[in-house]
Amino acid sequence: MKGSGVRVPASALGLSRVAGAIPDQTWSGMAGLADAARFTIQTFENWSIRADEYREIDSERVPVLVKYSGRGKASGLEVAEIREGGANLFHIRDGTLTRLVVYPNRDRAFADLGLTPEAS
């Protein structure tokens, strides 16, 4: 996470995507992160993610509410037209990113994390 002061380890990172239009999946390490990125690039064109809001749950978990944009290669649908936004949950321990959980659906993230849609 360039510029954040948070280190991203070469092997200990865990990445999970939680229920959405695409089935749940988990990857590990930098090779897993590359596989996840490859999947996204193969599935969407002009893919981008914009952070809308950062929240801190505790000293080790930071959810970031995000908006997606891009177009499905197979469907031709604009992502923003079918999905309002999601959340990325960063797990940070001792200044190191240990896990990233991607929630394509904000409501699911709010429910899992015990948050409300309004900023606290």
For 26-64, the pLDDT digits (tens) are 777 777 778 888 888 898 899 888 999 999 899 899 999
Which residues have a Cβ under 8 Å from the Cβ of 97 and sit 6 or more positions away?
1, 6, 7, 8, 9, 13, 90, 91
Lowest pLDDT segment from 12-21, 39-48, 59-68, 75-84:
12-21
DSSP 112: H
Task: Tell me what pLDDT residue 63 has.
Answer: 94
Per-residue pLDDT at 18 exceeds 90: no
Domains of the chain by start residue, with CATH: 14-113 (3.10.450.50)
The dihedral sign for the CA sequence 77, 80, 81, 85: positive
